[in-house]
């Protein structure tokens, strides 16, 4: 099993804003991948830093990926489609320069095609042309091999077809799998937040993730998965916007549990799309580690139970039942006893007034001294001293 985690873009905590500086920060956090964002257009002056990032990725075995323009109209008319492909061309050039393993692309609105086979066929034709173009760019000029050593011995970037998060956009899981199944060189990009939103909040348990990955594996026969994850706010089957993971009804714990318990066959890259970027990437990594610890603890308990069963002659089921009873008893014992109800205050009366011989409090003693002095000076009756003390008590 291979798991790589990283942010979608330069980390928020990075003092510099170049890709190389971002890579340094990501590596120092213990993360192993990132997705460069070319969501609108790639400016020519950025290619120098892309090349530097590609060299560093090649030397350190760091996985680089790249995201194409957010707004695409690959199902639009000739003009709209041509405009989108021009932007994608810049992303393909950048992917070669940065040594990207995956290029994630959006398809856009259904347009005049609507849902169905015709739209899927058109998308397949467009992506087939994009795959051909990537291969052309990758092996364009052999004279550049010394500058791009990863090109000579490597394979072209894989074109990622991303699942969409809105009903009016092409990109349901079924549509993506149909296209990927027919176009060699493409892979599905499972945006879990989009799948969750489009399915009205369907990703809730580890079993849900098991079904998702099984469907993909059975459909296209792969064990390699490229996924995006973040929290998401959604309504009526549409993603509204990304949120940090802890503020969403899309929890990461079930996915972590699936990866650790049943995902031994996976080769998975997880990109954090969260507004917190690297912070939520770290949060995902910590949750995977927690699931691993739970798995180890459970296996250790099972080993102890098995050994004890051999020693005592009892069955493992009996021992497990006894452990459950003991754990339940501990929980009950650990519960704090409910606070005792305060008895209603008794009327001030029932207590007999303190005898004159009893010691008054410090304050009262002080006042009593003063009153005593006054009494000596004025040589008056002690009954007034009692009245003063009475006032103090109430």
Residue 152 has a pLDDT of 73
pLDDT for 316:
75
Domain extent for 382:
367-393
Contact 81, 45 (CB under 8 A): no
Q: Give pLDDT, residue 373.
A: 53
Residues 287 and 372 in one domain: no
Domain termination site, one of 267, 296, 325? 296
- Whether residues 115 and 199 fall in one domain: yes
Out of 280, 296, 312, a domain closes at 296
206 within some domain: yes
Do 79 and 121 touch, CB atoms closer than 8 A?
no
Q: Are residues 125 and 29 in the same domain?
A: yes
Closest Cα partner for 305 from 324, 290, 291, 283?
A: 324
What's the pTM? 0.79
- The reply to whether 71 and 216 lie within a common domain is yes
pLDDT at residue 382 in the model: 45
Based on the fold, state whether residues 228 and 80 are members of the same structural domain. Answer: yes
Overall domain count for the chain: 2
- Per residue in 256-309, pLDDT (tens digit) is 999 999 998 999 999 999 999 999 999 999 999 999 999 998 888 888 878 888
Note whether residue 323 is domain-resident.
no
Q: What is the pLDDT of residue 386?
A: 40
CATH classification of the domain holding 10: 3.20.20.150
Asked if residue 160 is part of any domain, the answer here is yes
What is the C-alpha radius of gyration for the chain, rounded to an integer number of angstroms?
35
Residue stretches of the chain with pLDDT short of 50: 354-362, 364, 377-394
Question: 24 in a domain, yes or no?
Answer: yes
Domain membership of residue 176 (yes or no) is yes
Same structural domain, 47 and 185: yes
Residue showing tokens 């003009």: 79
Residues 12 and 118 in one domain: yes
* CA–CA gap between residue 196 and residue 193 (Å, rounded): 5
Q: Give the pLDDT confidence score for residue 385 in this predicted structure.
A: 45
Of 296, 317, 333, the position where a domain reaches its end is 296
- For position 254, what pLDDT does the model report? 97
Same domain, 263 and 377: no
Q: What pLDDT, on a 0 to 100 scale, did the predictor assign at position 296?
A: 92
Q: Helices 278-312 and 253-262: crossing angle, nearest 10°?
A: 50
From the list 146, 104, 109, the residue with the least C-alpha distance to 127 is 104
Q: Are residue 290 and residue 372 in the same domain, yes or no? A: no
Domain annotation covers residue 356 = no
- The verdict on residue 328 lying in a domain is no
- Do 197 and 49 belong to one domain? yes
Residue 353 lies in a domain: no
Q: What is the pLDDT of residue 9?
A: 93
CA 80 from chain centre, in angstroms, equals 35
- Three-class SS of the chain: CEEEEEECCCCCCCCCCCHHHHHHHHHHCCCCEEEEECCCCCCHHHHHHHHHHHHHHHHHCCEEEEECCCCCCCCCCHHHHHHHHHHHHHHHHHHHHHCEEEEEECCCECCCCCCCHHHHHHHHHHHHHHHHHHHHHHCCCHHHCCCCHHHHHCCCCEEEEECCCCCCECCCHHHHHHHHHHCCCEEEEEEHHHHHHHCCCCCCCHHHHHHHHHHHHHHHCCCEEEEEECEEEEECCEEEEEECHHHCCCCCHHHHHHHHHHCCCCEEEEEECCCCCHHHHHHHHHHHHHHHHHHHHHHHHHHHHHHHHHHHCCCHHHHHHHHHHHHHHHHHHHCCCCCCCCCCCCCCCCCCCCCCCCCCCHHHHHHHHHHHHHHHHHCCCCHHHHHHHHHHHC
């Amino acid at each position: 099993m291979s798991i790589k985690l990283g942010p979608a873009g330069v980390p928020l905590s990075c003092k510099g804003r170049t890709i190389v500086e971002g890579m340094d920060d990501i590596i120092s956090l213990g993360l192993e991948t990132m997705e460069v964002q070319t969501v609108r257009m790639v400016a020519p002056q950025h290619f120098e830093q892309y090349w530097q990032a590609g060299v560093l990725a090649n030397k350190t075995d760091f996985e680089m990926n790249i995201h194409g323009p957010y707004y695409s109209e690959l199902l639009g008319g000739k003009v709209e489609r041509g405009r989108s492909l021009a932007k994608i061309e810049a992303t393909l050039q950048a992917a070669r320069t940065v040594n990207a393993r995956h290029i994630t692309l959006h398809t856009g609105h259904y347009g005049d095609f609507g849902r169905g086979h015709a739209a899927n066929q058109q998308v397949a034709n467009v992506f087939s042309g994009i795959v051909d173009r990537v291969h052309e760019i990758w092996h364009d000029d052999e004279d550049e091999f010394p500058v791009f050593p990863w090109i000579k011995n490597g394979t072209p970037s894989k074109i990622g077809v991303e699942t969409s998060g809105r009903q009016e956009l092409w990109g349901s899981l079924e549509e993506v799998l149909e296209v990927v199944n027919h176009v060699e060189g493409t892979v599905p990009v499972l945006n879990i937040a989009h799948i969750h939103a489009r399915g009205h909040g369907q990703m809730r348990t580890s079993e849900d993730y098991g079904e998702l990955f099984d469907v993909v594996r059975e459909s296209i026969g792969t064990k390699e998965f490229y996924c995006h994850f973040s929290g998401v706010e959604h309504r009526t089957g549409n993603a509204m916007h990304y949120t940090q993971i802890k503020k969403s009804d899309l929890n990461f714990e079930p996915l972590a549990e699936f990866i650790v318990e049943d995902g031994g066959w996976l080769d998975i890259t997880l990109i954090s799309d969260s507004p917190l970027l690297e912070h939520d990437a770290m949060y995902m990594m910590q949750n995977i580690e927690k699931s691993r610890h739970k798995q180890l603890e459970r296996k250790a308990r099972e080993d102890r139970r098995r050994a004890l069963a051999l020693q005592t002659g009892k069955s493992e089921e009996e021992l497990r039942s006894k452990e459950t009873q003991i754990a339940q008893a501990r929980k009950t014992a650990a519960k704090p006893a409910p606070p005792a109800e305060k008895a209603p205050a008794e009327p001030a009366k029932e207590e007999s007034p303190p005898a004159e011989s009893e010691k008054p409090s410090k304050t009262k003693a002080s006042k009593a001294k003063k009153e005593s002095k006054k009494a000596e000076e004025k040589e008056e009756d002690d009954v007034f001293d009692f009245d003063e003390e009475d006032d103090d008590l109430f």
